Amino acid sequence: MGSSNIDCRPSFERSTLGRRRQRGVSLIELMVSLALSMIVLLGVIDLFIAYQQQYRLQTQLAQMQESGRFVTDVLTRELRKAGYSSWQRDQTFPATPYFEQGAIVEGSDSTLRVRYYGSTDEPLQDCLGGRLESADIARATLSLNTAQGLDCAVDKNSPQPLDALVADWELRYFVEGGWHRAAGVGDWASVKGVSIELLVASRQDGLVDAASTYVFDGETVTAPDHRLYRVYTTSVALRNVLSPPLVTSQDEASS
């Protein structure tokens, strides 16, 4: 008879032999695996933090750009309406506690006041988007509030927030001879243009590692925190410096 491959050993011996042949993971191998996993995990965390920081940075930049564009647009529209009245009107702008006789803009280095007549033909909008359907004089006051932000007040109503990201602004007024601060304007009725410099800051702090440096009001400034700062400037010529009855034929021909 041929030889047989049947294992005649008891079953307990065969199971013991099988267990001996099984090889587990050693402590060193386990520690190496954990170390590699930690390295990969730390890389993923660093990548996530960097992506989150970049997302915050881009979001704040977009908000600041939108804020600068919006405020500049509102201020430009208000100044272009300064002194507006219908061609049929023959009265000038009267003197008030805030305005000189005939002046259509007044203010300081940080406060701007504008006035114009409304229109019964085509309603105008004030700085808050309200409609001016009457022909009465409308007065808009734009100023910084005690916290960060720019406010707008129409006539004698309470100021309303216009934009929250404006940290500071400076105003210059053009009269004969050049640009002046408010203290250098002798006759407000002769102001022919307004220059605006806006400082816009991000809402969130800690966006940059080092404090931002920017030029504002002719000086180089280092920010006291780690927010983002941007400066926006614009100059607007006043369209209605002269009252309509004072417009001559020569002025009309050159316009």
Measured at the alpha carbon of residue 18, what is the angle toward residues 13 and 19, in degrees to the nearest 5? 100
- Asked if the structure places residue 8 within a domain, the reply is no
Q: Which domain holds residue 91?
A: 49-245
Least confident stretch, 12-26, 93-107, 126-140, 219-233: 12-26
Least confident stretch, 56-70, 119-133, 139-153, 232-246: 232-246
Distance between CA atoms of residues 199 and 231, nearest Å: 5
Pairing of strands 166-175, 178-180: antiparallel
Residue type, 95: A
4-51 pLDDT per residue, tens: 555 555 555 555 545 555 566 677 877 877 888 888 888 777 776 776
- Asked if the structure places residue 152 within a domain, the reply is yes
Distance between CA atoms of residues 171 and 173, nearest Å: 7
- Asked if the structure places residue 10 within a domain, the reply is no
Q: What is the pLDDT of residue 78?
A: 92
Length of the chain: 255
Q: What is the pLDDT of residue 14?
A: 52
How many independent structural domains does the chain possess?
1
- Asked if the structure places residue 34 within a domain, the reply is no
- Asked if the structure places residue 193 within a domain, the reply is yes
Pairing of strands 193-201, 166-175: antiparallel
- Asked if the structure places residue 135 within a domain, the reply is yes
Highest mean pLDDT among 34-38, 164-168, 243-247: 164-168
Q: Going by C-beta distance under 8 Å and a sequence separation of 6 or more, which residues neighbour residue 175?
A: 185, 186, 187, 190, 191, 192
Token code pair at residue 182: 């408010």
CA distances from 189 to 60, 97, 177, 243 (A): 40, 15, 15, 11
Place of tokens 């590692």: 209
**Total-model pTM:** 0.72
- Asked if the structure places residue 221 within a domain, the reply is yes
Distance between CA atoms of residues 47 and 55, nearest Å: 12
- Asked if the structure places residue 253 within a domain, the reply is no
